[in-house]
Amino acid sequence: MMNSRENASYSGLSKRSTLLAAVGLALVSGGIALLACFSQLESRRLDVMQRFEQDVTAWLDGARRDVEIWNADMKKLRLRISESETYRLFSGDLFGLDSRVAGVINSAEQTGNLPGPAAVLSEEVPAIRRILLEFMNYNGLLDARLVNKNGQTILSAFSTPSPLSPEQNSAAQQTMKTGETSFLPVRGSVNGLALDVFEPVYDLDSPEKCVAVFMSSVPVLSKVTQFTARPKQNDMSTAAMVQRRGDVWEKMQVPSPVAVPAALGKELADHKGVLPFGLRESVSEGGGMVYSMSVFFPGLEWSLVHETPESVVEGMVFRAELPVYAVGVLAWISFMLLSGLLWWMGFGRQQRAVAAELRRLNQIISRQKELLDSVNLSLDVGLFMADVKGQIRVCNPALAAILGKDEKDVSEQMIFSCFPTDAATLLLDRIRQVAINNREEGCEIYLERDGEKRLYRVTLFPFMDAGGESVRNSIRGAVVSMKDITEFRRQSLRMRQRQKSLIEAFTRAEESVDPYLAGHSQRMAKLGELLSVEMGLSEDGRNTVVMGAMLSQVGKLFIPRELLTKKGKLTPEELDQVHQAPEHAFRLMENVDFDLPIARALHEMYENMDGSGYPNHLKGEEILPEARVLGVLNAFCAMVSSRAYRKGMDERQAVEELMNNARFDQTVVNHLRNVLKTPEGMVAARS
């Protein structure tokens, strides 16, 4: 037997061992809790950033639509002058006259009689000037004039117009040379901010000859103010319009635009005016760091920048992370308490001491419960725990608010007494599936709240009965969370509707340039839907084929109409212009946010499997699969369509032609043949 000294030594060693084990358990548990918290914190941060970026993108899309509508309206306004027969005839008559005569024709009534044809033209000046002046005043323009190839004002709303600045003169000459609309950067003026626009004027008798330029000065301060009206994301978000002037980016403000900070200007230049969502300097000098994002308007060379102070966004992130901090602290405290209890029990054998410790732990746990309850009250997600019989064991206040009830009227109640019958049936089925399969489940339900039908995303997790002998036997129900996703779903539907409207507009425009294209895109889309299902394409693949089919002819909007409708053989130069259609389609669609490879599919639609296609002579697997499908559909629909110079082929004959042509993907052709054997396929092919 051990003597008293050995017994004391053994007792001390046992206590130290127990203490070290408890400390080790506390450290390990703390490390585990810390790692779990870090993972959840990153997930919460990413979720907040993604949702905020979606809100900003939606606002920018709306603002972009407003700017594009305004720009289109201004274009129509300018064309009323530049396409007017009166001004085209007047400019054409002056085009061949001596520059000295053309330079004084606008003030002919003050300078006296002019020789020859100029005298006749000078008599017309007062009348058409009056019309131009009324047009300028009615539409709120600051200046309106016609400028000739020498940079001379040949007609102005004012009898004594101000001279053109070198920048205005250069822009007018550029428009005369290229025949394209030119925009100067917004400038300061006595009337605020002004935008100078130069529109080509073509001769009435020779429509291909540019004989003058219509220059209009548009006040834009009120429009810029409208476009940058305070966003609705929060009270601290702002928006600013910036413009590119050569290599410098400027913020539009009165009395005149000012350069943005150098670092931001470089980033705008690097991204061609389209800033991705991220943290950077503010547009305003001294504005600090902001989370910003922008959209660019080609031609105008404007970029609309949405900004939110860094502190505001980080505050949103912190509020989302706060419950994670609280849960992590509570978990670590719980492990610490368990470790302390083990240490206490290691050397304290008396029942009285254990009872005292349990009472102390009960007090701490009560405080923990109070803290958890306070965290639970701050959550906006409905939570409840229900068993497989459909009884709600416990719920949080957010769920009671969703159901329009008091918390005490929900706990311990059956699901069917709290939820509508359809929602309750679905929830009970999912709870039982969770209990049977021991895995997470999800669904969506509709609930009436405040007189409105709201959509909720439901996620269910299994919970265990601690007294069970096995995992399968211990599962007794599910923990259910409910998140209101009504607004998110509405935004998604609006975005899909905008995409549908955009595609329909392009389709109408496609058919307007070539009468033979009427119905071509719709036929491709109908066959593409059936063919995608036959080939087993993914949802993204099917959407890419159908949307690509609707936009398949969009590149032809930029091809001269006379080439598309020409009945004879095209010259090599004309054929080269027609082959530019995929490039035009790619440039038009590459910045449209479809979340699908639509632009690439349109770009590669005319590539051939043997490398003989265009524009990049890709071959085989180098070509996007959806582009290969569009290539087969485009060729088939063209072959079965009648033209003025030929009758359309029979569908089976067209397929045989495709099967004997190495340019097309034979796998796609075989699937198309299978589709055409079905009633639906034949209806689509002949529609």
Write out pLDDT tens, residues 398-433: 888 888 888 888 888 899 988 999 999 999 999 999
Decide if 223 contacts 66 (C-beta within 8 A): no
Query: Of the candidates 558, 559, 560, 527, which has an alpha carbon nearest to the alpha carbon of residue 545?
Result: 527
Query: Of the candidates 110, 378, 635, 357, which has an alpha carbon nearest to the alpha carbon of residue 365?
Result: 357
SS3 assignment, position 420? coil
Q: Please report, to the nearest 10 degrees, the dihedral formed by the alpha carbons of residues 579, 582, 584, 588 taken in order.
A: 170
Rounded CA-CA distance 506/258 in Å is 38
Rounded CA-CA distance 557/23 in Å is 75
Beta strands in 135-260 (DSSP E): 143-147, 153-156, 182-183, 187-189, 192-202, 210-219, 238-245, 248-251, 258-259
Rounded CA-CA distance 351/205 in Å is 113
Decide if 501 contacts 486 (C-beta within 8 A): no
Q: Please report, to the nearest 10 degrees, the dihedral formed by the alpha carbons of residues 287, 292, 298, 301 taken in order.
A: 10
Taking residues 162-171, what's their average pLDDT? 92
Q: What is the DSSP letter of 664?
A: S
Decide if 279 contacts 273 (C-beta within 8 A): no
Decide if 447 contacts 420 (C-beta within 8 A): yes
And the tokens for 491?
Answer: 């935004």
Q: Could you tell me the domains of the chain?
A: 78-311 (3.30.450.20), 379-484 (3.30.450.20), 490-686 (1.10.3210.10)
> What are the angstrom distances between the C-alpha of 543 and each of 538, 583, 584, 671?
9, 22, 22, 18
Quick: pLDDT tens for 143-155. 999 999 888 898 8
pLDDT at residue 309, as a whole number:
92
Predicted TM-score of the model (pTM): 0.47
Name the percent of the chain lying above pLDDT 70. Answer: 80
Which of the pair, 21 or 94, is modelled with greater confidence? 94
Containing H/E element for 391? none
Quick: pLDDT tens for 347-384. 555 555 545 656 666 666 555 555 455 545 545 788 89
Rounded CA-CA distance 453/447 in Å is 6
Within 8 A by CB and 6+ apart from 589, the residues are 551, 554, 598, 599, 602
pLDDT at residue 648, as a whole number:
81
Across all residues in the chain, what is the average pLDDT?
A: 83
Rounded CA-CA distance 65/73 in Å is 12
pLDDT at residue 659, as a whole number:
92
* DSSP output for 299-342: TTTEEEEEEEEHHHHHHHHHHHHHHHHHHHHHHHHHHHHHHHHH
Quick: pLDDT tens for 22-81. 566 666 666 676 666 777 778 888 888 899 899 999 999 999 999 999 999 999 999 999
Taking residues 203-212, what's their average pLDDT? 90
With bands split at pLDDT 50, 70 and 90, how would you rate the model's confidence at 535? very high
In this predicted structure, the answer to whether residue 4 has a pLDDT above a threshold of 70 is: no
Taking residues 245-268, what's their average pLDDT? 92
* DSSP output for 667-686: HHHHHHHHHHTSHHHHHHHH
What is the chain's alpha carbon radius of gyration, rounded to the nearest angstrom? 37
In 98-155, which residue ranges form alpha helices assigned H by DSSP?
A: 99-104, 108-111, 117-138
And the tokens for 640?
Answer: 């079965």
